[in-house]
Structure 1
């Protein structure tokens, strides 16, 4: 049932303080997605206890469940495949189909540029350039971007590790993290619990966490020091790929120019390897 309907059914059973919370929730649902019970109470002008009792009064187990429901109703939508297909069907009978798809990608990258804080970007580049170890996680639809990011960042600096849940001992990896570590967590709808748990545990080890996601209210923000919501959450995550790759490419470029001497050393290490037996070279 919709949360608004639940509140309306129980509204007149609530105390005056709880009614204030209910009214604030209806008018400002996004606040409940990002703040804790104490902060909500301060905003409303009631105690933290009143906020929690409000949750009980509408038959919820507590504030955590309320936050979960709010996030679901703010963020969850029809499947990405459905959205991806329906939009492309609008162009199927029109000429230059591939042009329309690629032009749409360009427009979405342009929109993404406007959502990125340059101050946050510079801080992310600084952290990525300075920490001893960088770990990158992203599963399912986020895995290809995580893999590409780990590979390209590894060309610019040493000690970059892609976390693979199928083959890695994740607990061993997390146990090696510390304040000189950084985790980049790529988390798009549908938000996997494994991604969030790794971020939470990395944070507990003292690692700096950067979240790359599709909404400022995505669950990863709870554990991230920096969040880059590079794509609107009401669109297909399949269509997010061009903007996502473009942004992480900008991160790699920033790290490269931040420490050009290190990049030159990495380049020389690659060039000094004898790779002829691994690659095919054509004389034509």
Structure 2
């Protein structure tokens, strides 16, 4: 039996060894990270097909991390997620069933409820997998920052825009890196030690965001990463890492969980800053 007795320990071990894995094993690692809650239901052939590898590669992956084979590794996920799976429906299966069993068009109200349901499922996963230690580290980074640079492109841009807007309601100097005219690097040129860059990106991951995160790291700034996997390219530059997996319906991924996480992060920061102000104000004046 593997020494990693919990899902979190196993995923951390996979993240630590990710760079040394072969291309095929990296594909399997990403699949496991993104489908951990449903892995107990998947056959080895299903995973192999999704990763476009041979089933023997799945066995090699399990053995790489101390298991005798796929079944023993799957048991770890089965023990961890059986109760959760009973409580929460699989929305992907429900949506596919909805489409296949309808003779006519899906009603707007029904479609909307399915999307709301998928978003709710994503929020449940966010709550269940929230890393309190990393969330606390993220708040401390922002609390101590001189300047905060926020970068996200394409689907992540609305999230970056919201964070920058929220931070403007604090005493922190916040800068939204818009990349107008292709100027991402130019807008990051003044980042330095004492600053924090918030980098937000989801698969297939924006190269501009990765470049900005690396630039911040190279210049001595700290990096807070919000992404969908501990194995994401941005994770390697992170001083604090927050992961969020969104629910999806009809091939559209929601932003509900990500916005919720960012709002909670801002509220925690604002609360911390207010405490600091009260403590300073409560000190006796000589």
Please report the TM-score for the alignment, with normalisation by the length of structure 2: 0.60
**Alpha-carbon shift at residue 119 of structure 1 (Å):** 1.4
Ranges of 4+ aligned residues in structure 1 off by more than 3 Å = 28-37, 69-78, 86-89, 91-97, 167-173, 232-238, 261-264
- Pairing 1:215–2:197 present: no
Alignment gaps of 5+ in structure 2: 1-9, 32-49, 52-90, 100-104, 279-286
Conserved 8 A contact 2:168-2:174: yes
- Shift in alpha-carbon separation, 1:96–1:202, aligned structure 2, 3 A: same
CA distance in 2, matches of 1:123, 1:252: 13
Report matched runs for 1:107-118 at 5 Å. Answer: 107-118=121-132
Deviates more, 1:181-190 or 1:110-119: 110-119
Structure 2 match to 1:35: 17
Highest Rg: 1 or 2? 1
**Alpha-carbon shift at residue 214 of structure 1 (Å):** 0.8
**Alpha-carbon shift at residue 199 of structure 1 (Å):** 0.7
**Alpha-carbon shift at residue 249 of structure 1 (Å):** 0.5
Structure 2 match to 1:13: none
Structure 2 match to 1:55: none
Q: How large is the RMSD of aligned CA atoms in angstroms?
A: 3.7
Report matched runs for 1:229-268 at 5 Å. Answer: 229-231=243-245, 238-260=252-274
Conserved 8 A contact 2:194-2:221: yes
CA distance in 2, matches of 1:106, 1:246: 11
Match of 1:187 among 201, 204, 217: 201
Structure 2 match to 1:132: 146
**Alpha-carbon shift at residue 233 of structure 1 (Å):** 10
CA distance in 2, matches of 1:204, 1:244: 27
Please report the TM-score for the alignment, with normalisation by the length of structure 1: 0.60
**Alpha-carbon shift at residue 30 of structure 1 (Å):** 9.3
SS for the counterpart of 1:183 is: strand
CA distance in 2, matches of 1:133, 1:75: 33
Structure 2 match to 1:90: 98
